[in-house]
Amino acid sequence: EVTQALAEAEKFAAVNRRSAFMVHDLKNLVAQLSLMLKSAERHGDNPEFRRDMMETVQHVVDRMGLMLSQAKLSTRPLQNPRSVDVAAIARQVCRLKQAQRPGLSLRADGPAYAVGHSDRLEHVLAHVVQNAVDATVHNGIIRVSVLNSGNDVTIEVEDNGTGMSTDFVQQRLFKPFETTKDSGMGIGVYESQHYVSGLGGSMHIESAEGLGTCVRIVLPAAAVANELA
């Protein structure tokens, strides 16, 4: 009975963690839709904008459907990683975020295959880029780079925004519910670091107040189109 009770408690703890992460995901998706609605007031008559709007809505619907399918009693969220093209994921994220920051730039020379899950990696990168957007003024600089060294795939997101103190980065940033944003939940960095570490990768953040931030995510490289059991 004690063993069963511990197993049930572990499952409920996993559900609580996943629920917190889902709320964080939903906050980002709502932000995307809100931005699109504001832009529609000015660009609604533009056929190209309408096409982008439909793609964005479809993307949000797909993400929400996937989140619902993953809302299950499970303590093993990292099952069945695959070979995924990180460069393609970066292009998708940057395309969606450029409506908020037209100056956002991406450097990705060809495909870059790493071990992971497309939806989870997209969420991680979208969170990091959104943090850069939130930290910079409208004409601020945000650079996203995808580098393939052979053994590793590295994603770098650099900005010249408000930055964070050394003490916050070293002592609090990777802990849950710690944030410098008034509307933040303090879950995104914790969730991202936990996921990347589970893949055998690493996440490093360098920042200075008033100068900006550089987030570096290193993932194990994978063979092209090779599914990993």
Summarised one tens digit per residue, pLDDT across range 110-157 is: 899 999 998 889 888 988 998 898 889 888 899 999 999 888 999 999
Residue 173 · residue 193 · CB < 8 Å: no
Residue 203 · residue 217 · CB < 8 Å: yes
* Orientation angle between helical segments 2-43 and 188-198, nearest 10 degrees: 120
State the pLDDT at residue 191. 80
CA-angle at 46, arms to 42 and 48, nearest 5°: 125
Summarised one tens digit per residue, pLDDT across range 71-97 is: 554 444 456 788 999 999 999 888 888
Share of residues in the chain with pLDDT > 70 (%): 78
33-47, 52-66, 111-125, range with the lowest pLDDT: 52-66
- The string of DSSP letters for 57-80 reads HHHHHHHHHHHHHH-SS-S-TT-S
**Residue 198 to residue 87: CA distance in whole angstroms:** 21
- The string of DSSP letters for 83-124 reads EEEHHHHHHHHHHHHTTT-TT-EEEE-S--EEEE-HHHHHHH
State the pLDDT at residue 44. 79
